[in-house]
Amino acid sequence: MSDCDADPQIMVWAHRYTQSPSRFEAQMKSAVPQLIYVQQVAEKYNVAGEFVLLPWVESQYQAKPGRRNLPAGMWQIEPSTAHSMGLHVDHGYDGRLDTSAATDRVMHMLRGYYDELHDWRLVDYAFNRGEFAVQHMVQQHGVPPAEPAIPKWPVPRVTKEHLTKLLALACVIREPSRFNVTLPTLAAEDHLEAVDITPGMTFSTTASHAGMLADDLRRLNPAMSSEALNSGSGSQILMPHRNAEQWRNAMQSANAQDMTASNAPLADTPSSNTADVAQDSGPTAVKSHAVRTHTVKPGESLWQIAHKYSVSVNTLERLNNLHGKPLKPGQVLRLDAP
C-alpha cells in the first residue's frame, strides 16, 4: 500500500506511535509472537501485509475480553460479527479471543472484501465501517482514484483515521531507523504454532507435556476459560514451536507405551475365559479396551455419528447424558461403555 509520505497525516500518526521509541519497542516485542503468526495466516490468504498490523490498531494485540455486547479479542470483533463469521461464543469459550480461529476467519473475510472491492484501502474501510456501507459508497461515488492515499470520501473521521493509523504503523515497520526504533526479532523455535487439542486433557497436563508453564499456555489461549481443553468449541491451541515439538514427542511416547501394554501377552491364569480375567482386580488382571471417542464437527447430527460408528442413537444419548440436548462443535462424545 502507500508509503510514508503519501499523506501528511500518515507521518503525524507514525511519530505519535514512536514518540517514545523504547516504549514502542517494548510493546512490539510483547506482540511479535502473535504478529508473526498473523503474518503467516495473511500469506496463506494472500492478504496485503499491512493488515498484519490491524490488531495493533484495534487493541495493540491485546486479547481484550468482551463485556455485554462490546467487541472482544485482539481483532475487536462484535458479537453479531462473530456469529456471521462462524466464531462460537459461550460461557466457557469465546472464539473472538481464539488467536488461531479468529485470525483465520478475519483473513478469509479480508480476502473476500478485496475480491469484491479490488482496493485494499476500501478493505480497511469495510473492516471498520462495514461491508454494506462501503458497497453503498462505491455505488454513490465509484471506486476512489489511487491518489490521495486516504480517499476523499464522506465517511466518519474515525474510519479515515483507522486507515491512516494502519498506514502509519506500516511506515514505521518499513523504515524503523527513520523513527529511531529497532524492531524485535524472534527465533524460529519461538514462533507460535497451532496444535490440535487432545480430548480429555487439561491446560496443566498439556503444558507439562510441552515443557512450559500452564499460565503461559493459558495466556496464549485466552479463549478458553475452563481448565479442560475440550470444554469449549476451539479445535486448536497455540504454543511455541519448540514446545509443540516436545508435546508431540511426549504424545508419541505415551502412544507407544499404550501399544506395548496392549500387545503384551496375557498372564497365566487357570481360567481361559478372558472376560473373567478382565474383571479380576488381582495382579493378573487385563486392562480393558480403550474407550473410543468422537469430536463433533460443525453440522454433524447424532444420527450421522451413530451410523458412522455402527452404534445406536440411544446408546450415544445414554453414554453422553444427552437426553435431547443439541450437539455442539468441538464436543467430545464417548462411543463405548467404559
Looking at the structure, tell me whether residues 127 and 234 fall in a common domain: no
Would you say 152 and 144 are in contact if contact means Cβ atoms under 8 Å apart? yes
Q: Is position 277 within any domain?
A: no
Count of domains observed in the chain:
3
Which of these ranges, 19-33, 116-130, 323-337, has the smallest mean pLDDT? 323-337
Looking at the structure, tell me whether residues 302 and 235 fall in a common domain: no
Q: Is position 275 within any domain?
A: no
pTM, two decimals, is 0.75
Alpha carbon 174 to its chain's center: 27
Q: Is position 262 within any domain?
A: no
Looking at the structure, tell me whether residues 119 and 71 fall in a common domain: yes
Q: pLDDT averaged over the chain?
A: 86
pLDDT at 185 over 90: yes
pLDDT, residue 96, reads: 95
Looking at the structure, tell me whether residues 167 and 206 fall in a common domain: no
pLDDT, residue 279, reads: 39
Q: Residue 303: which CATH number? A: 3.10.350.10
pLDDT, residue 120, reads: 97
Looking at the structure, tell me whether residues 175 and 309 fall in a common domain: no
pLDDT, residue 202, reads: 87
Q: Measuring CA to CA, how many Å separate 252 from each of 204, 245, 260, 292?
A: 19, 11, 12, 18
Q: Is position 274 within any domain?
A: no
Looking at the structure, tell me whether residues 59 and 41 fall in a common domain: yes
Would you say 201 and 250 are in contact if contact means Cβ atoms under 8 Å apart? no
pLDDT, residue 18, reads: 97
Q: Is position 260 within any domain?
A: no
Looking at the structure, tell me whether residues 135 and 113 fall in a common domain: yes
Instruction: Name the domain boundary from 221, 236, 252.
Output: 252
Q: Is position 219 within any domain?
A: yes
pLDDT, residue 264, reads: 55
Q: Residue 129: which CATH number? A: 1.10.530.10
Looking at the structure, tell me whether residues 206 and 314 fall in a common domain: no
Looking at the structure, tell me whether residues 108 and 160 fall in a common domain: yes
Report which of 201, 185, 267, 266 is spatially closest to residue 234, judged by C-alpha positions: 201
Q: What is the mean pLDDT of residues 67-91?
A: 89
How many angstroms separate the CA atoms of 204 and 192, rounded? Answer: 19
Which tens digits make up the pLDDT trace of 246-304? 999 888 877 676 566 556 555 444 444 433 333 344 444 444 456 788 888 876 777 67
Q: Is position 270 within any domain?
A: no
Instruction: Name the domain boundary from 125, 146, 179.
Output: 179
Looking at the structure, tell me whether residues 318 and 193 fall in a common domain: no
pLDDT, residue 302, reads: 72
Looking at the structure, tell me whether residues 46 and 169 fall in a common domain: yes
Most confident of 50-59, 142-151, 191-200: 50-59
Looking at the structure, tell me whether residues 72 and 158 fall in a common domain: yes
Question: Count of residues for the chain?
Answer: 338
C-alpha cell of 190?
A: 519461538
Q: Is position 272 within any domain?
A: no
The boundaries of the domain holding residue 201 are 187-252
Longest dimension (CA), the chain: 91
pLDDT, residue 301, reads: 72
Instruction: Name the domain boundary from 144, 160, 179.
Output: 179
Phi then psi for residue 161, to 5 deg, are -65, -35
